[in-house]
Amino acid sequence: MKRILIVGVTAIGLAFSSCSTVPLTGRSRLNLVSDEQVLPMAFQAYSEFLTENKGAVLSASNAEASRVKMVGNKIIAAVKSYMNNNGHADLIKNYSWEVNVVQSKELNAWCMPGGKIVVYTGILPVTKDDAGLATVMGHEIAHAIAGHSAEQMSTQMVAQGLGTLGNVATANNAKRQSIFNTLYGVGTPLATLSFSRNHELEADRLGLIFMAMAGYNPQNATAFWQRMSQVSSGSQKPPEFLSTHPSDATRIARIQNALPEAQKYYKP
């Protein structure tokens, strides 16, 4: 039991000592993995994705691709300027920014750790204009800047460690082990979903600020998410507490609450 206690205290101490702060929001985040570990994997995965989808990647001369890259590069420039001028240069020093547009009906866009961005053409009718596009790209870039992927990986590492620790601690008591496994098996996935929803809302908040920094009025973000809500209204969604994304109503309400903060960064 003494050995288990030492391991537990060590794990807790490691978790607390491995926290960093998200720029602008000030939220403390768990970070057990470094850019040196995450970025090479992200860059390789991005390269493999582009190779596998070579025929669908639009050339820079394509009008849609050109517009997406223009908006993306404006946001990237604004984010780099802010980070470099406000003590966060180390967080993006190893980034290798890149924007690509993929021909697909999928309503999606994403930004990998390290600034590797993909926008699918399927979402462009919903973005509608440059401000809508800036809403999407600001949100996805925010996931990378906030280190959400690394935080999810760190959370999973801690959860796996606690699971191992719990099984060791209850190894000599079948009843306690059964109770622990039940609670751990149900509780951990729900906690992870909650982290995902919180990450989405944080990315919304940061995304508003990033689009504002790039010269796009954050007031337009509400209209985009309302359009997204209408597009997805025909699909059956799980209850909010079982979803990795917040409900449309929650998201739009939080965005409206965050607009005054974002508006401070907006310079037309």
Q: Is residue 94 in some structural domain?
A: yes
For the chain, 268 residues long, the average pLDDT of each consecutive 10-residue run is 40 51 88 84 93 95 97 98 96 96 94 94 97 97 90 68 44 50 42 70 96 98 93 64 78 96 94
Give me the catalytic one of 64, 98, 106, 140: 140
Whole-prediction pTM: 0.79
State phi, psi for 217 to the nearest 5 degrees: -65, 115
Q: How many domains does the chain have?
A: 1
Q: Is residue 79 in some structural domain?
A: yes
- In whole angstroms, give the CA distance from residue 117 to residue 137: 8
Q: Is residue 225 in some structural domain?
A: yes
State phi, psi for 229 to the nearest 5 degrees: -60, -40
Q: Is residue 26 in some structural domain?
A: no
Question: What confidence score (pLDDT) does residue 149 get?
Answer: 84
Q: Is residue 114 in some structural domain?
A: yes
Q: Is residue 144 in some structural domain?
A: yes
Give the domain range for residue 67. 34-151+193-263
Q: Is residue 135 in some structural domain?
A: yes
Q: Is residue 197 in some structural domain?
A: yes
Q: Is 151 a catalytic residue?
A: no
